[in-house]
Amino acid sequence: MRAFRHLSLSDALGIGLILCVAVFSLLLLVAPSIIVVMISFDTRAFVSFPPEGFTLRWYAEVFEQGELVDAMLNSLQVGLTVTLLCILLGVPTALACARGRFRGTTALSVFVLVPHMVPGIVLGVAVLFAGALVGVSPSIWLQSVAITVFILAVMVRTVQSRLVRLDPALEEAAANLRATPFQSLRTVTFPLLMPAILAGAVFTFVEGFDNLSVAIFTHGFRDRPLPVELLALVQYTSSPLVAAVSGVQIVLAIAALVAVSLSIGLDNVND
Amino acid sequence: MMQGPTGPATSVATTSPVLRIGGVGKRFGTFTVLDDCSLDVAEGEIVTLLGPSGCGKTTLLRCIAGFWDADSGSITIDGQDMARVPVNRRPVGVVFQSYALFPHLTVARNVGYALRMQGVPRAEAARRVAAALETVSLTGFEDRYPAQLSGGQQQRVAIARVLVMEPRVLLLDEPFNALDAKLRGTMQVELRQLIKSLGLTSIFVTHDQEEALTMSDRIAVMRAGRIEQAAPPDEIFDRPATAYVADFIGSSNFWPSLVADGRVSLPDGQSVATGLRGAVRVMARPHNLQIAPPAAGPWQGRVAFQRSVGPLVEYHVETEGGDAMVKVVAMRRAQDRGFADGTAVSLRIVDPALCAVYPA
């Protein structure tokens, strides 16, 4: 507290204001999740706030409903496929953009960004029609590819920004120290890019799992992903079931963040 | 004698050079970075590329390492042309300005990197890593990461990392830039002694003339992509081949003059022989001038400014006519205390033979 003793009134007011804004922002970020979780324990069969009573009935029902569990598994599959595709396509693209010595590296990095700028609905419709033209009908695979196109830019940008900040002398040093280009990539570039690749993987997995706008036009008729299933649910019912599904998702997200912070540290992902 | 040809080595090596740079040129677009650079480096010799930023010294180093290709000319090491040799096959070791230590590897793994890339058997690699770390006095630091080391220790790891592969030529790109000023002086002496004890042929790049004078057997002064003069430090300092070199290395006084009958007259009435004709510029080092109480003589002036530089005093003397500010360096002695600012003094050149004459 000693540090505050010599503060002038205006300093104190400034700090107070900053604290207020910070607390307000934090509330704004966290409140929706807290409200959803509270609703999910409500005993009443319709969504209302504040909740009355406490039950785990909706959580039990989530896992009793075959469609919801299937939808979760579908979304999990899409999330993993999108992540894998983004790593396979995005990391080499980022390398080409940041280190390539050919004309058009800037054009390439802008080009990758374009699908991300188009509204997801438009991209979804476009992929649907384009698929129809070449005889590919909506499926879990078409959905995965479409979302990959949509979100690839995030992986490319994350890896690229890390690459740009890597000292180029590191790769030159590897070459000077007898490493072939492939050895240099394997022993120096990739290990140093790993935090960025993991960060990109978290973002792309979440998008693959959670995307509605692209998925709604491209998902398979029998393989409905979770967001589409939830949309149907809120359209026709208003039970706290939806809140319970969200509760499960929130728990999974927290578990994932804890796992990441325990393994490589959140700072590394941010970096 | 002062107007000898500029460019390649003035001292001829007795054996064939380890590194031979022959007429190397390099352009980026329309900008010429290197223009017909030639330099031979003998076995065990430390040659410094010295010049202001943008003079091409780092470009030349990068061409030798193979990071960039020269547009013209040739670079040979032990008689072998390097043109078609990729970076990872060249017998050179580079110590980078940033050291470029691999942050995710320990000291031992950084130092052993080249050996792993070459597939050297584990036991032999371990032995060579230990030897290299001992050479740079870093035994016991094997398991530290670069971030846990001081700047000086990082530099030694960078050196050990290239020593371990026994390069024919060591390339050092401003290796003292990342160190604080106090540490630099000691590190320079230590590094020179280390390189000399290992007998490594080295090219050292710097923009700092004191560093160059400390480190080098020979200094190649570069200007706008060309080597102006390559000679031992004493010769560079005492007999700069061009006015640019004279101006760049150390402190200097210049006067315009005219050649008459093969001689140039100096401001104090003495004269010096020259092979040049017409308008010339005469250069004298501040320590070749003598400052004295006013006396009968053609060269009089007034002390405008003075400062102590260690055991020396540097006087700036405003000479008659007023346009030329002359720098004089004298040993700090009791009898010199008389020359306060504003004092009238007379100047004299101690040894006219040490004055250099350049075309105007």
Res B2: pLDDT: 43
CA B181/CA B179 separation, integer angstroms: 6
- A100 phi/psi in degrees, rounded to 5: -60, 145
Q: How far is CA A145 from the centre of its chain?
A: 16
Helix (H) or strand (E) holding B153: helix B151-163
> How far, in Å, are A35, A85, B107, B251 from residue B157 at the CA level?
56, 39, 7, 36
The minimal CB distance from B102 to the residues A172, A178, A188 is found for A188
Res B17: pLDDT: 92
Per-domain boundaries in chain B: 19-245, 251-359
| Complex confidence, ipTM | 0.83
CA B339/CA B53 separation, integer angstroms: 38
Question: Residue B35: helix, strand or coil by DSSP?
Answer: strand
| Contact assessment for residue A173 and residue A182, using Cβ atoms and an 8 Å cutoff | no
Write out residues 155-174 of A within 8 Å (CB-CB) of B: 167, 169-170, 172-174
- A24 phi/psi in degrees, rounded to 5: -60, -45
Question: Residue B255: helix, strand or coil by DSSP?
Answer: strand
**CATH code 2.40.50.100 for B251-359:** yes
Contact B118 A178 (CB under 8 A): yes
Q: How far is A204 from chain B (nearest CA, A)?
A: 26
B169: closest chain A residue by CA: A176
Burial B200-237 (b: 16+ CB within 10 A, else e): bbbbbbbbbbebbbbbbbbbbbbbebbbbbbbebebbb
Write out residues 36-95 of B within 8 Å (CB-CB) of A: 65-67, 87-90, 92-94
Q: Is A144 exposed, middle or buried (0-12, 13-18, 19+ CB in 10 A)?
A: buried
Chain B neighbors of A170, CB-CB under 8 A? 100, 102
Judging by DSSP bridges, how do beta strands B92-95 and B169-173 pair with one another? parallel
Res B185: pLDDT: 85
- Residues near A144 by Cβ (< 8 Å), separated by ≥ 6? A77, A78, A81, A82, A85, A208
Backbone Cα Rg of chain B? 24
* CB-based contact, B97 to chain A, within 8 Å: yes
Res B332: pLDDT: 75
Contact A180 B88 (CB under 8 A): yes
Mean pLDDT, contiguous 10-residue spans, chain B (360 residues): 42 73 92 93 95 92 94 94 94 95 96 96 96 94 94 94 95 89 86 93 93 93 93 92 91 88 88 88 90 83 86 86 74 68 88 89
Res A4: pLDDT: 57
CB atoms within 10 A of CB B27: 13
A172: closest chain B residue by CA: B67
Contact A191 B104 (CB under 8 A): yes
- The CB-based long-range contact list for A236-241 (8 Å cut-off, 24+ gap) reads A238/A46, A238/A47, A239/A45, A239/A46, A239/A47, A239/A58, A240/A39, A240/A40, A240/A41, A240/A42, A240/A44, A240/A45, A240/A46, A240/A47, A240/A58, A241/A58, A241/A61, A241/A62, A241/A65, A241/A68
Res B5: pLDDT: 42
Q: Which of A178, A193, A271 to mutate to test the interface with B (most CBs of B within 10 A)?
A: A178
The minimal CB distance from A175 to the residues B88, B98, B102 is found for B88
A168: closest chain B residue by CA: B100
Res B3: pLDDT: 43
Chain A neighbors of B103, CB-CB under 8 A? 192
Q: Name the stretches of chain A with pLDDT < 70.
A: 1-6, 264-271
Q: How far is CA B16 from the centre of its chain?
A: 23
Give CATH superfamily name and number for A58-270: MetI-like (1.10.3720.10)
Q: How far is B33 from chain A (nearest CA, A)?
A: 20
B64: closest chain A residue by CA: A176
CB atoms within 10 A of CB B261: 6
| Contact assessment for residue A214 and residue A150, using Cβ atoms and an 8 Å cutoff | yes
Chain A neighbors of B161, CB-CB under 8 A? 173, 177
Per-domain boundaries in chain A: 2-40, 58-270
Write out residues 118-157 of B within 8 Å (CB-CB) of A: 118
Give CATH superfamily name and number for B19-245: P-loop containing nucleotide triphosphate hydrolases (3.40.50.300)
Phi-psi region of A104 (alpha: psi -120 to 50; beta: other; left: phi over 0): left
> How far, in Å, are A50, A245, B126 from residue A35 at the CA level?
8, 13, 60
Contact B96 A175 (CB under 8 A): no
Q: How far is B186 from chain A (nearest CA, A)?
A: 26
Cα B287-B213-B6 angle, rounded to 5 deg: 85
Token couple for A241? 């079931």
| Contact assessment for residue A118 and residue A128, using Cβ atoms and an 8 Å cutoff | no
Among residues B28, B31, B34, B29, which one has the least CA distance to residue B75? B34
Q: Is the peptide bond before A138 cis (omega within 30 degrees of 0)?
A: no
